[in-house]
Structure formats: C-alpha cells, structure tokens
Amino acid sequence: MKKIIALIVAVLFVFAVGSVSFAADKAAPAKAEQKVAAKIVQVTGEIAAVDTAAKTITVKGKKGDVVITVDDKTLADVKAGDKVTVKYATADGKNTAKSVKKAPAEKKAETKPAKPAEKK
C-alpha cells in the first residue's frame, strides 16, 4: 500500500513540475510579441537641438518638443534648423528613430536683371 501511495505522489509531482515549466514557456513569447508591436509615431518639424554626446535630436512638433535617439549617420547629416519628418518608436520611455527624412532645401527665388527700357 505504501508503494502505491508513493508511486501516485511521484506521478503527481512529475505532472506538477511539467505543467509549471510548460506555462512559463507559453508566457515568454507573449512578452516578446509586446516588444515587437511597438507603435510607430511620426513627427514633422524643425530640429531645435542636436546633442552629439547623447546621440539625440530635439524636434519642434505641433504638439511640443520631442527628443529622439538617432544613429551616428543621421546625427552627422542633420543640424539645428533643418526641417525633418521622423518616424520613431517608444520603448522603455525612450524614443528611437526608425527613419529621418530631411525636407528639401528651399530654393531661393532667382532674380533676373531688369531689361533696359526701350527708347521710342
């Protein structure tokens, strides 16, 4: 009788440990999916500041200033005063740029020299 009870307890223990590890494996992908599903936000405006030490740019948007982390290449390509459109994602309270597009430079109006008045 003791052997049967010990066998039943052992089988129950194996099922209990197996179900806990199975539940933990199932929960991990759900957290990973939340990170992938980060919402992409777009802001268009003028660059107010460039911080090379922190690798960030500050964009003056319609709803206020937004500080965005950018890569080294983008940091070298932009300067304060440039008009940009930035798509970024927010994760762990940090805005990270996905794309930065500079607006084309405004062309200065070409002035043609005035034609001399024709004499009659």
Task: Give the global pTM.
Answer: 0.56
Report the pLDDT value the prediction gives residue 84, as an integer from 0 to 100.
Answer: 93
**How many Cα atoms within 13 Å fall on the side-chain side of residue 48?**
12
List, run by run, the mean pLDDT of 10-residue segments along the chain (120 residues).
88 78 59 62 92 92 91 89 92 90 71 63
Which one of 3.40.50.1820, 2.40.50.320, 3.40.30.10, 3.40.50.720 gives the CATH number of domain 40-102?
2.40.50.320
Domain ranges (residues) in the chain = 1-37, 40-102
Residue 66 CA: distances (Å) to CA of 38, 39, 62: 17, 16, 10
Q: How far apart are CA 28 and CA 94, in angstroms?
A: 23
Report the pLDDT value the prediction gives residue 21, as an integer from 0 to 100.
Answer: 66
β-strand partners of 90: 95
Report the pLDDT value the prediction gives residue 55, as an integer from 0 to 100.
Answer: 92
Report the pLDDT value the prediction gives residue 76, as an integer from 0 to 100.
Answer: 87
Q: Identify the CA nearest to 102 among candidates 26, 41, 46.
A: 46
Q: How far apart are CA 103 and CA 66, in angstroms?
A: 18
Report the pLDDT value the prediction gives residue 63, as an integer from 0 to 100.
Answer: 87
The tokens for 98 are 């996905």
